[in-house]
């Protein structure tokens, strides 16, 4: 296949990637070509794809602003930076946090007080009008949502955050565009070149043949994975909502288009990309079309291209799948994503908390420890999506998933949760919606030293101690509750996830200054977890969290022993106090309180937590 090759840009400052003049680069370039060949074949790569990718990289290198080049050099000189502890991320919808990008800039002091090192605003590029799945239906990747600001606002925000040592991480909705995107519009107008950007099936039989294996993401509100479109004269692949058209990555031009978008945004100052819906990038008939080898290869190819043009920029895989399918996103043949959501451990923590039993967390954590070196988990308690129990099916029997789903989603007499059940495919445990405040029971018992607050602190304390970057979901640092009014807004009523996407409550945030209040207690705890996690490196704590058993089933215990000093965490997932005999090594200090722990016995309060650092 031959591809149209874009006119070559000015070559100043671009070395020839194909020679050995720069050995590291030429190795990376060959890695990139090998990945592309594995997906598209050597002929396609030689027939124009390779050259088009080279030109895109060279153009981005030439256009890279000096401060970003400095950042690239700084990160390249310190290849272990990615796995350094305590790189707290704060995630939020721009409009719900601060109305606009300028509003976010005005909240820098709040973010600095919390100690965050990365900001992940949820999608902010120009969405389709009306319902856009919270911005996950992008109509223009090179424009900011006009309701939030414009591209200069984005660059300015990125630059001012950078001065404060905070990186900006942006969603790249790479699996699909909005039906209103220019590519889709051209396809609908009959342009065959753009029709090939999407996947269109001719008739209901073809749809049925594919759908036999596919698992619906929104079975209740968007059943099926295809949408009839009269203008396309066929069924368009739409994994999510009918207005989100899956891109056809079997067409190499789509890969290049998305690469050019990544490079363009990186040069606006974006320091990382969350690759939304990464498992869905490649479709293969007869499979469920998730986590196909080509999806991993495409991610590795993007990584290699960024390594050549914008090496300081990180990639985060959003793959809410079973761990075995998530791990390859870190890279199979070479480096892939630098980070991936640790959704297995997150979901297991909620399950373990419901049962007061650490078994499920231990099993999943042991598997998560297999991530490669120089990568990091994004560890979290809640995010903007539902809690997907089925992602744990390889680690827990269906009755456990059903029990946890019922515990958090339906309440019931013995549950502390006020979460709500969301949809799931027939026969599978429904996933769960709700802010951490609702799921831990804070609505019922908002006392700062009560059990619900202890549960929320416990979960956040655990995710800050794990290897990787801890994520704070907007409002959890204050105990912000659900948005029960979402159902009155016609644009949001149809999607239960809006329950846990409330507006920031700045009055509540002000109360963090009043000692002894719930917001003050949680905010202080969250900031302290981040600060302590950042100290772990200088204390000599490294390496993945390796769980181990203790005599108490309620206690989650793990060790990070990859450095000169060992961090041992004990977390009581139950409400009953526990004593572990003879478990403390002499000379240990609880890093959270900076007090030495006499030992050798350790008593943990209900939902109690210690981070013991060896002498």
Structure tokens at 38: 């594995």
Strands (E), 406-488: 420-421, 432-433, 469-473
> CA 520, CA 557: separation in Å to the nearest integer?
28
277 touching ligand GLC, by CB under 6 A: yes
Element (H or E) spanning 34, and its range?
Answer: helix 23-40
Which CB atom, from 100 or from 433, has the smaller least distance to ligand GLC? 433
Residue 47: DSSP 8-state: I
Binding region for ligand GLC (CB under 6 A) out of 132-140, 158-166, 180-188, 195-203? 132-140
> CA 171, CA 377: separation in Å to the nearest integer?
17
Q: Please state the closest distance from residue 26 (CB atom) to ligand GLC, in A.
A: 36
Which CB atom, from 178 or from 304, has the smaller least distance to ligand GLC? 178
Binding region for ligand GLC (CB under 6 A) out of 131-139, 204-212, 226-234, 510-518? 131-139
483 touching ligand GLC, by CB under 6 A: no
Among 37, 72, 95, 133, the residue binding ligand GLC under the rule CB under 6 A is 133
521 touching ligand GLC, by CB under 6 A: no
Q: Please state the closest distance from residue 275 (CB atom) to ligand GLC, in A.
A: 10
- Site for ligand GLC, residues 228 to 267, rule: CB under 6 A: 240
Binding region for ligand GLC (CB under 6 A) out of 133-141, 162-170, 201-209, 448-456? 133-141
Q: How far from chain centre, in Å, is Cα 221?
A: 24
- Find the catalytic residue in 257, 276, 467, 482: 276
Structure tokens at 601: 């016995």
Q: What x-and-dash track marks residues 135-164 binding ligand GLC by CB under 6 A?
A: -x----------------------------
Q: Please state the closest distance from residue 417 (CB atom) to ligand GLC, in A.
A: 21
329 touching ligand GLC, by CB under 6 A: no
Residues paired with 580 in a beta bridge: 602
- Find the catalytic residue in 216, 294, 300, 318: 318
> CA 91, CA 291: separation in Å to the nearest integer?
25
Residue closest to ligand GLC, measured at CB: 136
Is 191 annotated as catalytic? no
Q: Could you give the 3-state DSSP secondary structure of residue 409?
A: helix
Is 163 annotated as catalytic? no
> CA 357, CA 335: separation in Å to the nearest integer?
36
Burial class for 189, CB neighbours closer than 10 Å (0-12, 13-18, 19+): exposed
Which CB atom, from 133 or from 476, has the smaller least distance to ligand GLC? 133
CA-closest candidate to residue 68, choices 306, 315, 340: 306
Among 32, 59, 173, 602, the residue binding ligand GLC under the rule CB under 6 A is 173
Q: Distance between the two ends of the chain, CA-based, in angstroms?
A: 62
CA-closest candidate to residue 110, choices 120, 98, 100, 126: 98
347 touching ligand GLC, by CB under 6 A: no
Q: Please state the closest distance from residue 313 (CB atom) to ligand GLC, in A.
A: 20
Answer yes or no: are the C-beta atoms of 247 and 174 closer than 8 Å. Answer: yes
Cα distances from 519 to residues 70, 251, 301, 505, in angstroms, run 38, 51, 44, 11
Residue ranges in contact with ligand GLC by CB under 6 A: 133-134, 136, 173, 240, 276-277, 318, 384-385
Residue positions annotated with a catalytic role: 276, 318
């Amino acid at each position: 296949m031959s591809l149209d090759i874009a006119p070559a840009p000015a070559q100043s400052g671009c070395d020839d990637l194909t020679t050995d003049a720069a050995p590291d680069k030429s190795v990376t370039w060959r890695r990139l070509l090998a990945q592309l060949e594995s997906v598209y074949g050597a002929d396609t790569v030689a027939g124009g794809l390779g050259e088009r990718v080279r030109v895109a990289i060279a153009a981005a290198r030439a256009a890279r602003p000096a401060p970003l080049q400095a950042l690239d050099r700084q990160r390249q000189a310190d290849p272990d930076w990615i796995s350094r502890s305590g790189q707290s991320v704060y995630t939020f919808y721009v409009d719900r946090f601060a109305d606009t990008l300028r509003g976010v800039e005005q909240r820098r002091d709040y973010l600095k007080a919390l100690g965050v090192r990365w900001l992940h605003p949820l999608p902010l590029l120009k969405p389709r009008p009306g319902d856009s799945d919270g911005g996950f239906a992008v109509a223009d990747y090179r424009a900011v949502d006009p309701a939030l600001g414009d591209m200069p606002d984005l660059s300015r925000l990125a630059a001012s955050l950078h001065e404060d040592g905070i990186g900006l991480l942006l969603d790249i909705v790479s699996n699909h565009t909005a039906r209103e995107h220019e590519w889709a519009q051209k396809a609908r107008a009959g342009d065959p070149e753009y029709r090939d950007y999407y996947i269109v099936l001719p008739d209901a039989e073809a749809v049925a043949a594919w759908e036999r294996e596919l698992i619906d993401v929104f079975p209740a509100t968007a059943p099926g994975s295809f949408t009839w479109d009269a203008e396309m004269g066929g069924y368009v692949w739409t994994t999510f909502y009918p207005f989100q058209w899956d891109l056809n990555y079997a067409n190499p031009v789509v890969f290049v288009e998305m690469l050019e978008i990544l490079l363009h945004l990186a040069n606006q100052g974006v320091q990382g990309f969350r690759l939304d819906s990464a498992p869905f990038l490649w479709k293969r008939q007869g499979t469920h079309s998730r986590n196909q080898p080509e999806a991993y290869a495409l991610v590795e190819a993007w990584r290699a291209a960024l390594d050549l043009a914008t090496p300081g920029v990180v990639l985060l895989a959003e793959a809410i799948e079973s761990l075995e399918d998530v791990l390859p996103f870190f890279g199979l043949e070479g480096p892939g994503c630098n980070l991936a959501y640790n959704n297995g451990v997150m979901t297991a923590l909620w399950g373990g908390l419901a049962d007061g039993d650490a078994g499920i967390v231990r099993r999943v954590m042991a598997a998560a420890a297999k991530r490669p070196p120089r990568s990091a988990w994004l560890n979290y308690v809640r995010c903007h999506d539902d809690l997907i129990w089925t992602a744990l099916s390889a680690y827990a029997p269906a009755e456990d998933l059903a029990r946890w789903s019922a515990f958090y989603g339906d309440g019931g007499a013995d549950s502390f949760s006020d979460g709500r059940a969301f949809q799931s495919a027939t026969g599978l445990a429904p996933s769960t919606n709700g802010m951490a405040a609702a799921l831990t029971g804070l609505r019922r018992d908002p006392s700062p030293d009560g059990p619900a607050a202890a549960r929320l602190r416990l979960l956040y304390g655990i995710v800050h101690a794990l290897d990787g970057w801890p994520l704070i979901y907007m409002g959890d640092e204050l105990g912000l509750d659900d948005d029960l009014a979402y159902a009155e807004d016609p644009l949001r009523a149809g999607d239960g996830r809006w329950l846990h996407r409330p507006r920031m409550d700045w009055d509540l945030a002000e109360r963090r200054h009043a000692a002894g209040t719930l917001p003050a207690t949680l905010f202080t705890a969250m900031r302290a977890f981040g600060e302590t996690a950042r100290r772990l490196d200088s204390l000599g704590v490294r390496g993945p969290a390796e769980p181990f058993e203790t005599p108490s089933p309620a206690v989650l215990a793990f060790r990070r022993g990859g450095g000169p000093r060992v961090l041992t965490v004990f977390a009581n997932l139950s409400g009953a106090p526990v004593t572990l005999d003879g478990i403390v090594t002499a000379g240990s200090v609880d890093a959270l309180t900076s007090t030495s722990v006499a030992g050798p016995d350790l008593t943990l309060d209900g939902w109690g937590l210690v981070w013991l650092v060896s002498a």
